[in-house]
Amino acid sequence: MGATMAEKILARAAGVEHVRAGENLPVRPDHMIAYDFPGYTDVMFRQMHDDFGIRELADPGRYVVFIDHMLTRGDAREEEVHQVTRDWCAFYGITLHEARGIGHQVMAELGYARPGNFLVHFDGHVSGAGAFGALGWGVRRDLLEAWVTGEIFLDVPASTRFELTGEFRPGVDSRDLVHRIIGDHGADGCAHQVMEFGGPGARAMAIDHRQGLCGMAMFTGAVSAVFEPDSTALEYARRVAGDGFVPQYPDPDADYRAVHHYDLASIVPQVVLPGSARSANTRDAADLDGTAVTRAFIGSCASGRIEDIRAAALVLDGRNVAPGVELNVVPTSDAVHRQAEQEGLLDVLRAAGAHIARSSCDFCFGYQKPLQPEENCISTGVLNISGRMGSTGANIYMGSASTVAASAVAGTIVPAQEVTGR
């Protein structure tokens, strides 16, 4: 029986010929990534230094730290948190990437998410690296194990294969697909597994949408997600990282837990009801028509990339955000921000009444402009549990950038087609 992509990536990283799902073994990540957050990185650095006596890292180039949270209040506490991170990174010789955008996007732009690579982070949205054929795994506090030992013990996951055909229709993207997958197979449909994407639909999908799809893998119960690297992914990787990678592909007779087929042209806009992304909360956006919103948000590590901003601009061009609605757009990185500006997309959004904010994670977790009680928000954020974006009395619906833009124009939740006619 052949091997899945995840098995091949982990075997290479573990330095062994083969691994099989179910095996537990130590694996050496190519990069061990974190963002600074109080109680996480500051504690881990202190533990490395004080508890483990580590004064020098064997291989500091494998450690990557981003400052992408808590950038928008500009107060003393914010500065203090980040200074601790700067000091520790300087002490250990770790490259720190500060305020260049959301780390899960910037890691791709800087060439960390290379085909065939294995990455760990405490945050599960590192799975977005799968767009490039890399395996990114959110290991929570066990990141400390990787930081201290250079390796991490893992149960090799089984994989579920998703064979994709067709192309998304206008106003539909990978956010709709992932929520449809959850609706069809449940919030544990891929539990403890890796989602492996391939087929002509996968090759036709924009890299941005692949990143958004892989970044949401945890809501199917998966530990990660990977696309078979195609010419699009390889060209991107070569541009940012040179040839220093070994792409991995699944064997034709790879052993999958399940194989699911999706025709992307059959996917219609999806919206997730407040609470969580579980199956029972997934609806066709058209079924929620009439649900009033006061806030709309396009951004996050899942959906603030150039394709999302282009989609929003298509909807907002020549239209206005409805009175009483605040639309905030946060490009996923500074590079995305610059490109959106150069393409004139941000002018379109501004003319429609949208607010454009500096790239950070701050809207997504309720740090910047928190929601007030009784507010309804339609969001491309990654999470809609109570209190995620501010008050526990606010409601968060989730949808694609097209759906959020259209809902901001209508003042109620609607699929983009109802606004654009396309």
Partner 1 sequence: MSAAREYPPPPDVITGRVAWVFGDDFDIDLVVGVENIKSYDADFLRGVVMQAYDPGFADRVRPGDVIVGGRNFGYGHPHYPPMVALRDLGVAAVLAESFSPGFWRGETHNGMPLITVPGIAGAVVTGDALRLDWRTAAVTLDDGRTLRGVPPSDRVVRVVEAGGSLKLLLAEHSRT
Q: Please report, as ranges, the residues that interact with partner 1 according to CB under 8 A.
A: 24, 39-40, 43, 47, 50-54, 124, 138-142, 144-145, 148-149, 153, 155, 186-188, 191-192, 218, 221-223, 276, 278, 383, 385-387, 392
Nearer to partner 1 (CB atom), residue 53 or residue 324: 53
Nearer to partner 1, 87 or 155 (CB): 155
Assigned token pair, 346: 């941000």
Tokens 């990978």 identify what position? 174
Q: Which amino acid is at 286?
A: A
Print burial letters for 172-194: b (CB count within 10 Å at least 16), e (below 16): bbbbbbbbbbbbebebebbeebb
Distance of CA 329 to the CA centre of its chain: 16
Closest separation in Å from C-beta 147 to partner 1: 10
Residue 47 or 72 with smaller CB distance to partner 1:
47
Tell me the closest approach of the beta carbon of residue 65 to partner 1, in angstroms: 16
**SS3 (DSSP) at 410:** helix
Contacts of the segment 366-371: beta carbons below 8 A, 24+ positions apart: 366/390, 367/69, 367/70, 367/72, 367/73, 368/72, 368/73, 369/326, 369/328, 371/295, 371/396
Nearer Cβ to partner 1 (190/354)? 190
**3-class state of residue 88 by DSSP:** helix
Q: How far is the CB of 255 from partner 1 (least distance, A)?
A: 19
Q: Which lies closer to partner 1 via its Cβ, residue 43 or residue 90?
A: 43
Strand pairing report for 118-121 and 135-138:
parallel
Closer CB to partner 1, residue 246 or residue 385? 385
Report in angstroms how near the CB of residue 313 gets to partner 1 at its nearest. Answer: 31
Closest distance of CB 383 from partner 1, Å: 6
CB of 42 to partner 1, least distance (A): 9
Rounded Cα distance between 280 and 273, Å, is 9
